């Protein structure tokens, strides 16, 4: 372990790593005309198909009003579209539009390359294993699902459909 001035208190370490990785991905995405929030929505929809706004808000960690503003912009840009759920007409789903799929597919390798660069800065640290461990920890810490139904999208780590080493997540 490399000596640093950072206190090894788990919440602090997790916060600092999240902030640095997010900062780097935000800079990369900005060059491509995409925000981190938009990337999280595109990535979620590419992985899961149509989702209600409440599930998207939970999975992306965005407050509902912020998500609504982002989604309105994404709809105006032709990246996503809304559709009434055929199984429950009271619910509206957000789906990835063809233009959003193209944007997602263009960004996936760029995000993967950046994550690979990050991994290269920490030789000996297996970011894929770390991602798996953090996912396991998150699953263990999250409250039990209501009504006995687990939504697999909610337990997904925010940030995209690319694993730590750059491989697409299943």
The number of angstroms, rounded, from the C-alpha of 9 to the middle of its chain's C-alpha atoms is 25
**Length of the chain measured in residues:** 170
The per-residue pLDDT for 21 is 96
pLDDT (tens place) for every residue of the chain, 170 residues total: 555 676 789 999 999 999 999 999 999 999 999 999 999 999 999 999 999 999 999 999 999 999 999 999 999 999 999 999 898 888 999 999 999 999 999 999 999 999 999 999 988 889 889 999 999 999 999 887 665 444 444 434 444 444 544 444 44
Q: How is residue 80 written in tokens?
A: 């996503």
In this prediction the pTM is 0.79
Q: Which of 170, 162, 19, 134 is nearest to 125 (CA)?
A: 134
- Residue whose tokens read 């929030």: 37
Q: How is residue 42 written in tokens?
A: 């595109």
DSSP 79: S
Question: For residues 69 and 91, what is the distance between their CA atoms, to the nearest angstrom?
Answer: 18
The number of angstroms, rounded, from the C-alpha of 82 to the middle of its chain's C-alpha atoms is 20
Going by C-beta distance under 8 Å and a sequence separation of 6 or more, which residues neighbour residue 78? 97, 99, 100
CATH class, domain 10-133, is: mainly alpha
Please give, one letter per residue, the 3-state secondary structure of 102-167.
Answer: HHHHHHHHHHHHHHHHHHHCCCCCCHHHHHHHHHHHHHHHCCCCHHHCCCCCCCCCCCCCECCCCC
Residue extents of the structural domains in the chain? 10-133
């Amino acid at each position: 372990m490399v000596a640093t001035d950072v206190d090894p208190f788990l919440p602090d370490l997790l916060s600092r790593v999240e902030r640095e990785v997010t900062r780097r991905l935000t800079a990369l995405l900005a060059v491509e005309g995409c925000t981190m929030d938009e990337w999280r929505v595109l990535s979620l929809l590419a992985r899961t198909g149509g989702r209600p706004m409440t599930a998207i808000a939970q999975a992306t960690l965005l407050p509902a009003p912020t998500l609504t503003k982002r989604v309105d912009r994404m709809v105006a840009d032709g990246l996503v579209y809304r559709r009434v759920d055929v199984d429950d007409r009271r619910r509206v789903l957000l789906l990835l539009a063809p233009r959003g799929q193209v944007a997602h597919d263009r960004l996936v390798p760029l995000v993967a390359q950046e994550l690979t660069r990050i991994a290269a800065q920490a030789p000996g640290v297996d970011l894929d294993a770390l991602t798996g461990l953090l996912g396991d920890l998150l699953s263990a810490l999250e409250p039990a699902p209501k009504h006995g139904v687990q939504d697999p999208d909610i337990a997904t780590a925010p940030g995209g459909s690319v694993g730590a080493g750059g491989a697409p997540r299943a």
